[in-house]
């Protein structure tokens, strides 16, 4: 597929149109107060603030500019491998001029390898994986977001994969993108995402015997028993927490 000469990683062509969302996205939670305090009162002064937590909904074609070219090429390449695109790509999101493919975790490695190797795609570099924890996104509370860059075509996209708290397993992409080695260890360390197939999935920031995953939304705030000598540290269930 020929590259659009008017498109690059930062702009669309003159005929591009924005992709509309379906019904404004997915509401997964309603938060009260500035920081969502759920015990001990909200001292921010914004206790009456109520807002929804909304994830962007699926976009509909045309996505605009080179986004359609990438989506077409990816779907066609998957079909050539006898994988139905609808089975691998759960939804395609265009939000804030960014293209994100939500991928079923069992097909993540195949999709990533296709994005890397297909000549019309050539996303050769993964700049890391970010962990996210959405308590209100039932059945898919844990998300892993991969940032892919095509040095050949000057484009940036994202892959997003979800897993439930009860089964936090996601295939490792180290075999496809070796730079993910430390990034996956960090996501495991802070979010408890287990990257199956990682060559050495151990903690990278916290001590090896640390209990829990500090960047999960349900992790208790404050109070580390060994941090200060003589300090009075409240039990985890007595500490203040935020949603």
Q: Give tens-digit pLDDT for 1-43.
A: 444 444 444 444 444 544 454 456 888 888 777 666 666 666 6
Considering only CA atoms, which of 49, 34, 53, 38 is closest in space to residue 138? Answer: 53
Alpha-carbon gap, residue 61 to 75, rounded angstroms: 14
Q: Which residues of 2-13 are buried (b: 16+ CB within 10 A; e: fewer)?
A: eeeeebeeeebe
User: Are residues 41 and 76 in contact, defined by beta-carbon separation less than 8 angstroms?
Assistant: no
Supply 96's token pair: 């804030």
Dihedral pair phi/psi, residue 179, rounded to 5°: -65, -10
Query: How do residues 110-131 score in pLDDT, each as one tens digit?
Result: 999 999 999 999 999 999 999 9
Residue 11: the pLDDT is 46
Residue 242: the pLDDT is 53
Looking at residue 18, what DSSP letter applies?
A: P
Residue 4: the pLDDT is 44
What is the model's pTM?
0.78
User: Are residues 43 and 58 in contact, defined by beta-carbon separation less than 8 angstroms?
Assistant: no
pLDDT at 239 over 70: no
Residue 219: the pLDDT is 85
pLDDT at 70 over 50: yes
Alpha-carbon gap, residue 99 to 14, rounded angstroms: 18
Residue 12: the pLDDT is 47
Alpha-carbon gap, residue 153 to 5, rounded angstroms: 10
Residue 81: the pLDDT is 97
Residue 240: the pLDDT is 59
Per-residue confidence band for 232, with pLDDT thresholds at 50, 70 and 90:
low
Supply 86's token pair: 């609808």
């Amino acid at each position: 597929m020929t590259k659009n000469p008017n498109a690059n990683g930062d702009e669309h062509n003159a005929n591009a149109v924005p992709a509309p969302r379906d019904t404004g996205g997915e509401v997964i939670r309603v938060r009260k107060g500035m920081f969502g305090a759920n015990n001990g009162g909200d001292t921010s002064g914004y206790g009456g603030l109520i807002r929804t937590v909304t994830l962007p909904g699926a976009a509909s074609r045309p996505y605009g500019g080179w986004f359609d070219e990438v989506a077409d090429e990816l779907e066609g390449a998957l079909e050539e491998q006898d994988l139905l695109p609808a089975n691998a790509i759960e939804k395609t999101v265009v939000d804030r001029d960014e293209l994100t493919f939500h991928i079923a975790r069992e097909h993540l490695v195949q999709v990533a390898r296709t994005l890397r190797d297909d000549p019309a795609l050539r996303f050769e570099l993964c700049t890391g994986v970010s962990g996210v924890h959405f308590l209100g996104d039932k059945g898919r509370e844990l998300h892993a977001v991969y940032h892919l860059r095509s040095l050949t075509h000057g484009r940036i996209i994202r892959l997003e994969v979800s897993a439930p708290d009860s089964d936090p397993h996601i295939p490792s992409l180290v075999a496809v993108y070796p730079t993910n080695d430390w990034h996956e260890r960090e996501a495991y360390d802070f979010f408890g995402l287990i990257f199956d197939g990682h060559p050495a999935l151990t903690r990278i920031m916290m001590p090896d015997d640390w209990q829990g995953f500090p960047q999960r939304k349900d992790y208790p705030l404050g109070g580390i028993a060994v941090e200060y000598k003589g300090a009075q540290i409240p039990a985890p269930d007595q500490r203040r927490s935020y949603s």
